[in-house]
Amino acid sequence: MKKKIAVILGDGIGPEVTEQSIKVLNIIAKQFKHEFSYEHALMGAIAIDKTGNPLPDETIKICLASDAILFGAIGDPKYDNDPTAKVRPEQGLLKLRKELQLFANIRPVKTYETLQHLTPLKPRILENVDFIIFRELTGGIYFGDKTLSADGTVATDNCSYSVAEIERIAHLAFQYAQKRKKKLTLVDKANVLETSRLWRKVVQKIAGEYKDVTVDYLFVDNAAMQIILNPAQFDVILTENLFGDIISDEASVLAGSLGMLPSASVGNTVALFEPIHGSYPQAKGKDIANPMGSILSAAMLLDHLSMQKEASIVREAVDWCLSNKFVSKDIDALNSYSTSAIGDLICEYIEKQVTGEGHVHHERLHKSTII
């Protein structure tokens, strides 16, 4: 297949992790006889530096003309502590989500046996954890009107949802649940918020169309606790924008590292794939960041392009790296592999598997162990 992929490297470690995903996509293309072409586009702090605009029009054009978008990360510390900044990198990503109508952000959460020691949770809590968060991405408080009084002492953020906005993501989430363990949990704050009551009403109505799916409802404060206390109870979590942002970072604790979680943002046009981690500015340019969240996002991209076999070999390669401890510094400080070495190993594994040359000779790649 011939596919055009828009690449937005973004800020911080975005470029170096995304570069590994491109290497992986190139190996997949070579081994499975696909043709992937890439067009780079600017977004975030780097786009502000180069053009004054966090999302140049050219980027939207490139994205709309592509079959999928691969995105790195956004954000720069120089804006984080400056609440008066008029232009912010994150505005680029929010605008892109809105412009491309990427209304559903899909974040799968699973645990890895080899990373269990990194989580502060007891191993029995991590058993059978495998769920997926459907976060609404183009509405709610993120996109409501914002005000600041003239004297700067009162601020507001409006949270609004329409039935149509809730329905379209709810249908997607129910359809996913039907293909999984057939359970959907709506996370809201219906005891307090009007928008949450609308979510409940709409979801209750839609549930009638998906009789094979069991639905339950959790207030977000309780859900935050349940994710840590009994995460195995979840299958598909459906929630609004802000709650989804918060609980998905929380859920990454279950995986052992934020660096492992991929995501897909889908909607009415082209879909976007990005790791859920941020720009990790402290690691920028050092070749130490974990590229697996990005590479697993590339696997989701392949799935989206109906390349399931290709996607599963990428996931298998990541699992193989983990079980051989080919991991980045944040996962194993003493025996770490660089971002690019992990990318190379994953590519080598894929190549050897597809060509049937057997396993990679990983002894060669082991570094000396400090005892």
Residues marked active site are found at 142, 189, 221, 245, 249
Q: Give the Cα separation of 238 and 166 in Å (integer).
A: 10
Site string for ligand IPM, 235-274 (x = CB under 6 A): ----------x-----------------------------
Residue closer to Mg ion by CB (options 260, 311) is 260
Residue 93 interface partner, choices Mg ion, ligand IPM, none, CB cut-off 5-8 Å depending on type: ligand IPM
Q: Give the Cα separation of 256 and 142 in Å (integer).
A: 28
Nearest 5°: phi and psi at 201? -60, -50
**For strand 262-266 and strand 35-40, is the pairing parallel, antiparallel, or unpaired?**
unpaired
Shortest spacing between CB 74 and Mg ion, in angstroms: 10
Residue closer to Mg ion by CB (options 29, 109) is 109
Contact at 8 Å (CB) between 95 and 55?
yes
Shortest spacing between CB 349 and ligand IPM, in angstroms: 29
Q: Which member of 17, 93, 223, 313 binds ligand IPM (CB under 6 A)? A: 93
Residue closer to ligand IPM by CB (options 54, 256) is 54
Q: Tell me the two tokens of residue 209.
A: 């169309």
In 3D space, the residue among 336, 252, 259, 332 whose CA is nearest the CA of residue 290 turns out to be 259
> How much is the CA Rg of the chain, to the nearest whole Å?
21
Partnered with residue 275 across adjacent β-strands are 262
DSSP 330: T
Enumerate binding residues for Mg ion (CB under 5 A).
245
Q: Give the Cα separation of 26 and 272 in Å (integer).
A: 18
Residues 13-72 that bind ligand IPM (CB under 6 A): none
Shortest spacing between CB 135 and Mg ion, in angstroms: 9
Shortest spacing between CB 224 and Mg ion, in angstroms: 14
Q: Give the Cα separation of 154 and 47 in Å (integer).
A: 31
Shortest spacing between CB 185 and ligand IPM, in angstroms: 19
Q: Which member of 22, 74, 346, 347 binds ligand IPM (CB under 6 A)? A: 74
Residue 303 interface partner, choices ligand IPM, Mg ion, none, CB cut-off 5-8 Å depending on type: none
**Distances from the Cα of 362 to the Cα of 205, 255, 341, 342, 353, angstroms:** 54, 25, 12, 12, 14
Residue 351 interface partner, choices Mg ion, ligand IPM, none, CB cut-off 5-8 Å depending on type: none
Please state at what angle helix 57-64 crosses helix 89-99, rounded to 10 degrees: 40
Residue closer to ligand IPM by CB (options 98, 200) is 98
Q: Which member of 39, 67, 90, 351 binds ligand IPM (CB under 6 A)? A: 90
Residue closer to ligand IPM by CB (options 199, 243) is 243
Under the rule (CB under 6 A), what is the footprint of ligand IPM? Answer: 74-75, 90, 93, 245, 276
